A and B are shown apart, each in its own frame.
Chain A
């Protein structure tokens, strides 16, 4: 069929354009009207499952899902009438109340149980009545054990990220990278890439790599993009972020 189209196009001299249009049209009508014979069906049979696999199956297979050892209500802990001492704090300061800086400027990250125990002191009075708090008291604080939290936003080992440079000196809001994590009532499922072993939050929620918000993805290009935008081109030198 394809050959026929080509021959007719070549045989006519002056009407070559209309004959080309004609042959293309007939080619496609042939293709559609007789999909099996033309082979279009095979093409589609090949393509559609791959699209399904790529867009729908891949994300569910690529990521392993893990539950946090216990739930943590970020939104609740950001309320100043729940946590005394948060009064008049800015949003960032509220986060820093638990996720604090050490004296040497390093960032503590996920707090240790001793930070939790500043408020959750007594086994018999765990401040609230949820099962999580009871679990925290019984399993961790009273035993002096650390909660094996899964970190959503941990960069790989080759990356050096100084929070203090961004939060204190750069005055960035925590939400720029972490989104509305501080407003969540329950901890989302932790998704780990089975191949790269990185958290899905770091390497992009969207399987195609599209991002709409600054916090959607935290790959190298995203860091560089922000540095450039803010006029800190010099911080795109390799060793600034790599170790």
Chain B
């Protein structure tokens, strides 16, 4: 018994050795089964495809043709989609403005639409402090009711003039007209256009040509381009067009034919890439232009036929430049060698179709009247006006006017009150200065402010004054789809669609030398509960009722666009088809006639509506008799406006001895549009490092001020101060501080917020058009 018992215990004794045997058995068993191999394989696959790595859904690829409205350039875009999900933006090859190309901001635009951290997901009401960004969602009905209620209250208490609107839409766009119409029918003249270079251009056009029609330049046909600070490669005018033109100028067949001379104080992309770089001191461009004119006149290189028959005031002009602007004198003023001035003048005048262009940087800020007038004088000297390769002045777009603006007695009475005097009424910068000053002085002049497609709190070069004035306004309404600086200060948000989600129009893109009208069509369904501001305006007017409502008789924004487009059809000119083999500039040069491809309005409208465009490259150039609408009926060398720009302010030796020169780059959005995150990949580490942006200064200046590469400094002007790092750059003019524009946002998300500094907070450019002329000091 006992032995048996012992046997069993011994048998079952689970000692170390048996345990090992069990384990080995298990291992062998497992090894002979697929278990370890299969699990290892599957785990390897798991590690290759972590479940949180997204798998983008696939489907049918298609494209939607439309226009980019991130800047006033009017480039054609093709939105590439999977089913109805946009995945990429590409340039449109069948488009006259930018055949195939696109600018970096346009290429990255999708991130502005999809980045939910910078977008309003529906109408909002402010609940926190101003600028804190705390909002609560409300319905569209509630929001519009609240706004209409406040507006009616204002109107009924006789304060109809106390509503103001800031509008960043392009001049002449339908949205812009409707905003102005709402204000007018309501009874307010406080319609504030965001400042832009075109204001100055229009002012000068009136002085020298006698008409306000914007001047355009037929650069593609020109063989000598004398650019006064235009950032041809920095986003000037229509970036898609200019960059494309640059490729054409530098193609093998054109390389020796076309000369580009850039007048600029910094080795920008344009200055570096130009054939000739004239580094004139900022603010002395007028003198340089007149110096060149002096050489042309002295050496008899001007186009005497044009001068004799088409211009007036040449005698006074001659006297002025010969007396005041000899090459030696100009050399002293501008810092350019007299020899260089002479050689450029000769090359310019002897070229077949030279053209002089102006508008600093991207051409988005007001310029200097005297400079513009002097540049136009250069064009007149060579007879480069209204001919291919020169200045072209087109007839305005043949759009139908919007009918039926109705004013009641309240509006008529109230419209007579204006806060602007004659002087400040002219220029948008001055208007903003007046408005801001009055608000800050606690004059109760604006009770409701509507902001459309603009971010004045960030973009106005006023040292932050407008932003300050927003805290004093009782009720601000933002129509921005983005949580920008201005929107964060608003009381009510009525978010618009982003540009890829909405229908809108693109009238006469910046600098395009022929009539052009495009329509953007939605490339996707709206992602959030947003509404086209055009539709919202119509709805709002309806709620206001009376003559305001009657002034907006349309069912929706699309109907308004259609109403305007009828004029294009009725003009019987132009075409909606782009023939890729014939560029518009070739058509201008060869005076090719185009015939409309449509026979009835509806078929034209259908083409337009689907992201189409209408353009008329020929036969619409203003005839000389109509163009020169001055008193003399000729081009006027208006000497009275040629007094050179304000000279540099008096600099005291110890403080503010340097001058701030803001500059624009193509890799950052301008205006109210935030920069898409992808663009930060293109920013060099010498432009932005972590959250510091860089100022560029010449090595000589750096040495004088004991600054080293990468030093963190405070740049201060009378208006304020910002922190930046120092980048020592040979291409920067000595004694100047070059600061990039487009950084220094205090709104948006981690990608954009708090990166770098904004030169606008140093400039007092609203009082003084010379935004490139701010004395600063560095500590």
A and B in contact, CB less than 8 Å: yes
Complex CA gap A193/B38 in Å reads: 11
B61 touches A104 (CB 8 A): yes
Since A42-B19, A43-B21, A196-B42 are in contact, a sample of 19 more A-B pairs with Cβ atoms closer than 8 Å, ordered by chain A residue number, is: A42-B18, A43-B25, A45-B22, A46-B21, A46-B25, A47-B25, A47-B26, A50-B28, A54-B35, A58-B38, A62-B38, A102-B60, A156-B49, A158-B48, A193-B42, A195-B45, A196-B45, A196-B46, A196-B49
When C-beta atoms are compared, the residue in chain A nearest to B83 turns out to be A112
Q: How far is the CB of B67 from chain A (nearest CB, A)?
A: 25
Complex CA gap A197/B43 in Å reads: 10
Complex CA gap A209/B42 in Å reads: 12
| Contact pattern, A 51-92, Cβ under 8 Å of B = 1, otherwise 0 | 101110010001000000000000000000000000000000
B residues near A144, Cβ cutoff 8 Å: none
When C-beta atoms are compared, the residue in chain B nearest to A39 turns out to be B21
- A residues engaging B (CB < 8 A)? 36-37, 39-40, 42-51, 53-55, 58, 62, 102, 104, 106, 108, 156-158, 193, 195-198, 207-209
When C-beta atoms are compared, the residue in chain A nearest to B48 turns out to be A158
B28 touches A47 (CB 8 A): yes
When C-beta atoms are compared, the residue in chain B nearest to A208 turns out to be B34
| Given A37-B11, A55-B34, A207-B34, also A48-B29 (CB < 8 A) | yes
Within 8 A of A (CB), among B36-58: 37-39, 41-43, 45-46, 48-49, 51, 55-56
| Contact pattern, B 1-34, Cβ under 8 Å of A = 1, otherwise 0 | 0000000001110000111011111111110111
When C-beta atoms are compared, the residue in chain A nearest to B14 turns out to be A42
- B residues engaging A (CB < 8 A)? 10-12, 17-19, 21-30, 32-35, 37-39, 41-43, 45-46, 48-49, 51, 55-56, 60-61
Complex CA gap A54/B42 in Å reads: 14
Complex CA gap A198/B49 in Å reads: 10
Complex CA gap A157/B22 in Å reads: 42
B35 touches A50 (CB 8 A): yes
| Given A157-B49, A193-B42, A208-B34, also A54-B29 (CB < 8 A) | yes
Q: How far is the CB of B769 from chain A (nearest CB, A)?
A: 53
When C-beta atoms are compared, the residue in chain A nearest to B53 turns out to be A157
B residues near A47, Cβ cutoff 8 Å: 25-26, 28-29, 32
Q: Which of A54, A62, A108 gathers the greatest number of chain B CB atoms within 10 Å? A: A54
A42 touches B21 (CB 8 A): yes
Complex CA gap A106/B18 in Å reads: 62
A195 touches B43 (CB 8 A): yes
A residues near B18, Cβ cutoff 8 Å: 39, 42
B45 touches A198 (CB 8 A): yes
| Given A43-B21, A43-B22, A46-B29, also A54-B34 (CB < 8 A) | yes
| Given A36-B11, A198-B45, also A54-B32 (CB < 8 A) | yes
Q: How far is the CB of B49 from chain A (nearest CB, A)?
A: 6
Give 9 A-B contacts (CB < 8 Å), ordered by A residue: A36-B12, A46-B24, A50-B25, A53-B35, A54-B29, A55-B33, A58-B33, A58-B35, A193-B42
Q: Top 4 nearest A-B pairs by Cβ distance?
A: A54-B33, A46-B25, A50-B29, A47-B29
B residues near A54, Cβ cutoff 8 Å: 29-30, 32-35
Q: How far is the CB of B221 from chain A (nearest CB, A)?
A: 38
B residues near A58, Cβ cutoff 8 Å: 33-35, 38
Complex CA gap A48/B19 in Å reads: 15
B residues near A48, Cβ cutoff 8 Å: 25, 29
Q: How far is the CB of A150 from chain B (nearest CB, A)?
A: 15
A195 touches B46 (CB 8 A): yes
Q: How far is the CB of B84 from chain A (nearest CB, A)?
A: 13
Q: How far is the CB of B43 from chain A (nearest CB, A)?
A: 6
Complex CA gap A70/B308 in Å reads: 87
When C-beta atoms are compared, the residue in chain A nearest to B43 turns out to be A195
